[in-house]
Copies of this chain bind each other. A is one copy, B any other.
Amino acid sequence: MKKLPVGILGATGMVGQNYIALLNNHPWFEVSYAAASPRSAGQPYEQAIDGRWHLRETYAPSVGKLTVRDAGDIAAAAAEAKAGNLAFVFSALEMDKDKIIALEDAYAAAGIPVISNASANRWTEDVPMLIAEVNPRHADIIPQQKKRRGWEHGFIAVKPNCSIQSYMTPIWALIQKDYEIKRMIVNTMQAVSGAGYPGVPSLDVLDNIVPYIGGEEEKSEREPLKILGTIEGGIIKNAAAPLISAHCNRVPVSNGHTATVSLEFGAKKPSLEEIKQIWRSFRALPQELALPMAPEVPIIVREEPNRPQPAKDRDVHKAMAVTVGRLRPCNVFDVRFVGLSHNTVRGAAGGGILNAELLKAKGYLG
């Protein structure tokens, strides 16, 4: 199979770097287009990124040779798309919300699908916010989105915030088995890589934690409701439950967000053993389709008293699995547990790539 040529918007930022690193040797996609700010445009990527590449893994030599384009130059991208050299773009743009919306719209209008990591379009009502294992059916709003916007080929799909990924798949696994979750209180302990680079100053997290991350609690409380929502009349209507209260903290961990979760079920309450059984056996569309980036097992259940831990569990199954542990009764609600996922892979670039794989498998890309 010929690989699809893909572009990265925001290719010099940290999320862009993560996309580029994770797409090394991807079986379906090949980075053929790198766009960034005008300041970087015109230089070979290896020159534009010199001294600013912050990952352990390096970029493919072929990416190093790409001439960086101005992300604002839609015409350039459209020309490449027309020539068959650009099938879609991953948006890792870091700028004002309004500018991102305008740019992502412009790419889509120019016929280039946008798989976005940015938060700008998460609340656009006809834009699906996808976790491939949780709400793949939301992809089916894309034809309506295209029609509504008058876009022939382009569209926009986004992914949610990294802070919710440690508990979203586990609670979805229960919900789809008809266990209603009414209320939940969540405490996240989030890795510094979530803030990009330079991101969190070392003076803030050496021998310290910061019990605050701007905007994170609101996202953690609201985004699940859209993800669990239903398509009605061409838009996504939020689910009414669960009601979520999130406490978000920054901790001195490089990668891996950990969440402690207390759950209150509706009238029908699963036993601890049922929950584990549901989690262990949970498989979803990405697993059925054997998508390249999909974790073989989406939810890993650990029985040791002291797991999951970011250093030990973040990298399991290509850093795409969610690891849960410490499932036990909650003194106040029904049950409680600890969830963990890798924030820059599962929670960002890896999740975006998996979404693109899903959309390709569903026929929306390429």
Contacts and interface: CB of A to CB of B under 8 A. Distances in A.
Interface of A: 51, 54, 56, 183-185, 187, 189, 192-193, 197-212, 214, 221, 243-247, 249, 251-254, 258, 260, 262, 304-312, 315, 325-326, 330-333, 336, 338
A205 B260 CA distance: 17
Contact of A211 (B54, B246, B306): B306
A315 B57 CA distance: 10
B203 A201 contact: no
Contacts of A254: 203, 206-207, 311
Given A207-B207, A253-B208, A306-B210, A312 B192 contact: no
Given A200-B201, A245-B333, A331-B243, A253 B207 contact: yes
A253 B247 CA distance: 19
A236 B139 CA distance: 60
Contacts of A247: 187, 260, 262, 336, 338
Chain multiplicity (copies): 4
Q: Which among A208, A211, A325, A333 has the highest number of chain B CB atoms within 10 Å?
A: A211
Contacts of A249: 189, 258, 260
A260 B309 contact: no
Contacts of A221: 331
B251 A210 contact: no
A311 B245 contact: no
A253 B209 contact: yes
A212 B304 CA distance: 10
A336 B214 CA distance: 16
Given A251-B209, A253-B209, A192 B185 contact: no
Contact of A201 (B202, B258, B332, B336): B202
Contact of A331 (B56, B244, B306): B244
Given A211-B326, A245-B333, A245-B336, 15 more contacts: A56-B312, A187-B247, A192-B203, A200-B201, A200-B202, A200-B203, A202-B252, A205-B206, A207-B254, A207-B310, A208-B253, A209-B253, A221-B331, A246-B331, A251-B252
